[in-house]
Structure 1
Amino acid sequence: MSQIAPSPTAAVLIIGDEILSGRTRDTNLNTLARFLAPLGVDLMEARVVGDRQDQIVAALNALRAAHDYVFTTGGIGPTHDDITADAVGAAFGLPVREHPEALAILARRYAPGEFNAARRRMARVPEGGVLIANPVSDAPGFQVENVFVMAGVPKIMEAMLDDVAPRLK
Structure 2
Amino acid sequence: GGFLPLAVTMVQKHVFDAFDEPDAQKTFWHGHSYTANPLGCAAALASLTLTETNRAAFETMESWHIDGISDLVSTGLTHHERICGTIMAVDVRMDADSKTGYLSEIGPIIKKKALEHGILIRPLGNVLYLMPPYCITKDELSDVYQDLTKILTELKIK
- Is TM (by shorter chain) over 0.5? no
TM-score by length of 1: 0.30
Structure with higher helix content: 2
Higher strand share: 1
TM-score of the pair, normalised by structure 2? 0.31
